[in-house]
Amino acid sequence: MSKESAVRYYKPRAEFSLDVTDIQNFVYDMSRCIKCKGCTWVDHTYMPGARFMTRCPSATKFEFDAYGAYGKMRIGHAMAEGVLDWNEKALEIIYACTLCGACDVGCKRNLDLEIELSLEALRVKAVKDGVGPMPAHKKIAANIAETHNFFNAAHAQRRDWVAASGVTPAEKADVLYFVGCSASYTNKEIARATARILKAAGTDFMLLSDEWCCGNTLFSVGLYDEAKALAERNVEAVRRTGAKILLTSCAEGYRMWKVDYPKLLGIATADLGFEVLHLVEYVDEKIKDGALTLDKPFETRMSYHDACSLSRLSEPWTPYEGKRGWMGCVEPRLKRRRGTNGVYAQPREILEAIPGVQLVEMPRMRENAFCCGAGRGTGEAFPDFARWAAAERLEEVKYVGAETLVSTCPWCKNNFSRVVKEDGLPVQVMDISEVILAAIEG
Ligand code: SF4
Ligand code: SF4
């Protein structure tokens, strides 16, 4: 081979982007899976023993290779190449997965394959091909279309939590609190606590005059067009208010606003026109500024559960178009989202600052945390799987002897609470907003 042709050979040449509406963009990633199972096992160096060594809820529960990311990559590759058609089992395998991102983090330890995006693209393909999503997901989509919320509750009751909070939102403020469906309807304690925390910090905040669902479940199950319509509507509504900060108290909503809205709109997170913060990021800043003091004791041995959408799935989004060549090298450089820059420090620093809290870490923590099982359409389509995942995580809570389990997402709180109640476990499950408020007000 001449020097000139060798240079041509090494030059990246196949065009691709990270657009999840075209499965062909991820054929490289799906086809290069080497079945090493780094997506299933937590790195051995972090593990105290054999009990809590898996990171993939789906592969751990169903104990069959098809359910691991490696199985889904093979199914997706075969479908993208037109050698496999949808069938009932393939559809179940693609949706019996919490889209928790643990496989993506594990795979990127070695290979930098875009596993999470491949899984998202597969669900978009399932919908485009007329087989997805699952019936339970279609019901949620109908609820959202009809009443603009997940639960099909009366839209007029969305602000019912405000009166009981004792806080009056401002007409205009720099901070806009996007409450989300759960805190508006089923977990009003989180909305009330968030409002009171903001008041204690001296922060005026506004609400959207007509808040609609963030569309997390729509996007998660592959209903791309429906999710995009909500993204356009909601981002425009926030831009019109002039808010500088969009604050959420829900990890899933946070990921939606920070990562998936930009993905749906073809822009970078930095181009939204406002900053997206979870309550814990805001509170952490306010404690450091001296505007908030958490001085009321809370005597408990506590463990913190990293919600997937606030941790490994929360890194900012930047659209990408480039070329790929030999050994997968890409041009221009692609800054990978490997999950290591999620929101890990702030919630832990907040909890550790509370007098009386003894924070103990579970073996699977930060980007290796084991998903609670509830989010991204799993709880609705596969309730037994969601229950199993929460029970498995609660075994870890037992293992470290924690009395209180804290997370940053109503979906985690509800799923853990259900299992704790049904199984009579001696664990108190709380949202971090409730813990922070207790440390402020006593
Ligand atoms: S870690 Fe990546 S390459 Fe290895 S089996 Fe999992 S998806 Fe395939
Ligand atoms: S997203 Fe989570 S549940 Fe789905 S394959 Fe990956 S690790 Fe397993």
pLDDT tens digit sequence for 40-68: 999 877 776 788 999 999 999 999 999 99
Tell me the CATH number of domain 141-289, given options 1.10.10, 3.30.590, 2.60.40, 3.40.50: 3.40.50
**CATH number listed for the domain at residues 293-306+344-442:** 3.40.50.1860
Task: Give residue 185 CA to ligand 1 midpoint distance, Å.
Answer: 39
Q: Verify whether ligand 1 is closer than 6 Å to residue 111 (CB atom).
A: yes
User: Which numbered ligand comes closest to the C-alpha of 375?
Assistant: 2
Over residues 423-439, mean pLDDT: 98
Mutate to test the pocket of ligand 1, among 113, 116, 122 (most ligand atoms within 8 A of CB): 113
Task: Give residue 328 CA to ligand 2 midpoint distance, Å.
Answer: 23
How far apart are the C-alpha atoms of 240 and 258, rounded to whole Å?
A: 18
Amino acid letter at 417? Answer: S
Q: Return all residues near 9 (Cβ < 8 A) that are at least 6 apart.
A: 1, 326
Closest CA to 190 of 27, 430, 440, 442: 430
Is beta strand 330-331 parallel, antiparallel or unpaired with respect to 321-324?
antiparallel
Percentage of the chain surpassing pLDDT 90?
Answer: 93
pLDDT at 8: 46
pLDDT in tens, 309-341: 999 999 999 999 999 988 888 999 999 999 999
- Give the tokens for residue 236: 């425009």
Q: Verify whether ligand 1 is closer than 6 Å to residue 76 (CB atom).
A: no
pLDDT in tens, 106-152: 999 989 999 999 999 999 999 999 999 999 999 999 999 999 999 99
pLDDT at 99: 98
Closest CA to 52 of 310, 315, 400: 400
Taking CA atoms only, the protein residue closest to ligand 2 atom 1 is 99
Task: Give residue 105 CA to ligand 2 midpoint distance, Å.
Answer: 10
Over residues 365-392, mean pLDDT: 96
Task: Give residue 317 CA to ligand 2 midpoint distance, Å.
Answer: 20
pLDDT in tens, 162-215: 999 999 999 999 999 999 999 999 999 999 999 999 999 999 999 999 999 999
Q: Verify whether ligand 1 is closer than 6 Å to residue 219 (CB atom).
A: no
Is beta strand 175-178 parallel, antiparallel or unpaired with respect to 245-248?
parallel
Taking CA atoms only, the protein residue closest to ligand 1 atom 8 is 33
For 119, 131, 225, 235, 423, the CA distances from 228, given in Å and listed in that order, are: 18, 20, 5, 10, 40
Mutate to test the pocket of ligand 1, among 33, 54, 112, 119 (most ligand atoms within 8 A of CB): 33
Do the domains spanning 141-289 and 293-306+344-442 agree at the CATH topology level?
A: yes
What residues are in contact with ligand 2 under a 6 Å CB criterion?
A: 55-59, 69, 97-103, 119
The four Cα atoms 135, 137, 143, 146 give a dihedral, to 10 degrees, of -80
Task: Give residue 38 CA to ligand 1 midpoint distance, Å.
Answer: 6
Q: Strand 14-17: give its sheet, edge to edge.
A: 14-17, 321-324, 330-331
Q: Verify whether ligand 1 is closer than 6 Å to residue 31 (CB atom).
A: no
For the chain, domain boundaries: 1-132+320-333, 141-289, 293-306+344-442
Residue 248 phi, psi (nearest 5): -120, 160
User: In the predicted model, what is the mean pLDDT of the chain?
Assistant: 95
Taking CA atoms only, the protein residue closest to ligand 1 atom 5 is 35
Q: How many Cα neighbours within 13 Å face the side chain of 362?
A: 31
What is the DSSP code (8-state) at residue 65? G
**CATH number listed for the domain at residues 1-132+320-333:** 1.10.1060
